[in-house]
Structure 1
């Protein structure tokens, strides 16, 4: 539980709510465009964390008649909505505010409060970032960060890590914008800082949306799961060969598996059903995250034809 996805999201939510309030107060006092953009950024991140928590809760509901394969994909849907919100609200508002401040520049008032809030923001965002980083490190194993991001089936922790990384970079840009704008007496620099924050948010949104879209459309399960299911099925008496399988990730811990297997020709239909039940029981005993297991009696030749059909498409 020390670095569970929910704990990471709760920590990020608590940090963002407090920081958003402080940033809006600082923006009202100083008139900083970059600080206002950062306030909206933190507010959007707070909404995102609420949506991720809702998606996590919904994804853990058990299968029922309306959703016999479970609700795992709800998390992927809400992760995609989070990516859209970062782009539409966070990046969109920051870009608008930055352009408006450049076209109609207003001198910054006392920037001291901005520096205080930015320092507090770095502290809280840093703690949240560190927690999400530790969670990612624990989950990624020997994979590199980018490879782990591309292959992960649970977008929650990575979403928080991306948001926190973008927040820290945004705070640095805002601090630079406030300082240079005040030091050089050019309020337009503060507007350009707001545009820089918009670019950072747009890039983070694009990466999150790409991964969420791939999971939402349907990705195969991790190869390790395929190997374990093949090993289990191949050891059951009556199975002559496991030709292969197709998998579909339905959620972080929800996988649909379709196995193509060649059975002993001497087996009756009832005996084949017994073999199938044995395979199902052994995969369940192994604790594999399979919500549905379909086994199709098929010759190796027909399986290869099916693969050629898929390759042709």
Structure 2
């Protein structure tokens, strides 16, 4: 529940910041005529829409299991996060590259430079607020799992904070590029800086989108959890004194921090069938008590 609340807070902060930034950038793009500023406006519009998609995924993924979805709705979050990644690719990435190319082919003078610089600086502050919120959540969750932030970012089962963190990281880099391009354009009179910055922003967003698409695709097709997690689950199974071996331990994500665990165990001889039933029930309860195991099935073999 704490992670759900943290993810919701991160997404709401990101949506609020991006909406304010998009409005400010849009006004500045009209006043300055900067292609890089327009690219950044498209970037923030895409980010705002993406946060709304993430919020929908958060709400839908917490619905209880029913007859049609006996394993729950956790993977809804991966679907909506995948849509958000596609939005980054199309609205943010491709549109920015197109605007940059158009600016190079058909250059226009830049105007109201101080306004553009001011908006970019304010935007950096708002994006930094959102970035720090996502970074703090990732750090707290990585700490609870005793892994580095980098490792958690790579293997996290919750795409919400990961998407916000990568989006905001790209936004801060993009804002720096737009600011540099605006100043260089005004100083040199060469629109090529503006166009190149817009193209660079687009390429950056495309790279982020590809990373997010790949990660959500892995989660949607039930890829196995990382080996250290499997090893920890196997060790927990082997702690039972009636278990001789655990030759097959398979774990996949049903949703954020929700594992489906399938275990095959070799049973030590000597017990009765009734004792085995009780032992399996106790093992299932212990595994579910680990916090991340939502459902577990144990198959005993002689």
Is the structural similarity TM-score above 0.5?
Answer: yes
The answer to whether structure 1 residue 203 and structure 2 residue 198 are counterparts is no
Q: CA RMSD in A?
A: 2.3
Superposition deviation, residue 148 in structure 1: 2.3
Match of 1:9 in 2: 11
Render the CA deviation track for 1:7-66: whole Å, top value 9, x for unaligned: 111111100001101111111111111111111100100111111111112222221111
User: In the alignment, is the contact (CA less than 8 A) between 1:26 and 1:35 conserved in 2?
Assistant: yes
Partner of 1:114: helix, strand, or coil? helix
Match of 2:292 in 1: 289
Of 277, 282, 286, the match for 2:281: 277
Pairs within 5 Å for 1:31-46: 31-46=33-48
User: In the alignment, is the contact (CA less than 8 A) between 1:70 and 1:254 conserved in 2?
Assistant: no
Match of 1:119 in 2: 121
Of 49, 65, 84, the match for 2:67: 65
Match of 1:311 in 2: none
Render the CA deviation track for 1:135-170: whole Å, top value 9, x for unaligned: 222222354443222222222212111111110111
The runs of 5 or more residues in structure 2 that have no matched partner are: none
Partner of 1:4: helix, strand, or coil? helix
The answer to whether structure 1 residue 99 and structure 2 residue 101 are counterparts is yes
Partner of 1:283: helix, strand, or coil? helix
User: In the alignment, is the contact (CA less than 8 A) between 2:138 and 2:153 conserved in 1?
Assistant: no
Moved >6 Å (runs of 4+): none
User: In the alignment, is the contact (CA less than 8 A) between 1:71 and 1:251 conserved in 2?
Assistant: yes
Rounded to whole Å, the distance in 2 between the matches of 1:43 and 1:196 is: 18
The runs of 5 or more residues in structure 1 that have no matched partner are: 300-313
User: In the alignment, is the contact (CA less than 8 A) between 1:70 and 1:291 conserved in 2?
Assistant: no
User: In the alignment, is the contact (CA less than 8 A) between 1:72 and 1:253 conserved in 2?
Assistant: no
Superposition deviation, residue 268 in structure 1: 5.6
Superposition deviation, residue 229 in structure 1: 4.5
Of 25, 28, 44, the match for 1:26: 28
Rounded to whole Å, the distance in 1 between the matches of 2:20 and 2:50 is: 15
Rounded to whole Å, the distance in 1 between the matches of 2:282 and 2:154 is: 34
User: In the alignment, is the contact (CA less than 8 A) between 1:174 and 1:193 conserved in 2?
Assistant: yes
Match of 1:82 in 2: 84
Change (3 A) 1:187 1:238: closer
**Number of residue pairs aligned between Structure 1 and Structure 2:** 298
Rounded to whole Å, the distance in 1 between the matches of 2:150 and 2:236 is: 32
Deviates more, 1:203-212 or 1:96-105: 203-212
Rounded to whole Å, the distance in 1 between the matches of 2:158 and 2:295 is: 19
Superposition deviation, residue 124 in structure 1: 0.6
Render the CA deviation track for 1:209-235: whole Å, top value 9, x for unaligned: 222222222232355654554455445
Rounded to whole Å, the distance in 1 between the matches of 2:21 and 2:135 is: 20
The answer to whether structure 1 residue 56 and structure 2 residue 58 are counterparts is yes
Of 157, 168, 175, the match for 1:171: 175
Partner of 2:56: helix, strand, or coil? helix
The answer to whether structure 1 residue 155 and structure 2 residue 159 are counterparts is yes
Change (3 A) 1:24 1:275: same
Superposition deviation, residue 236 in structure 1: 4.7
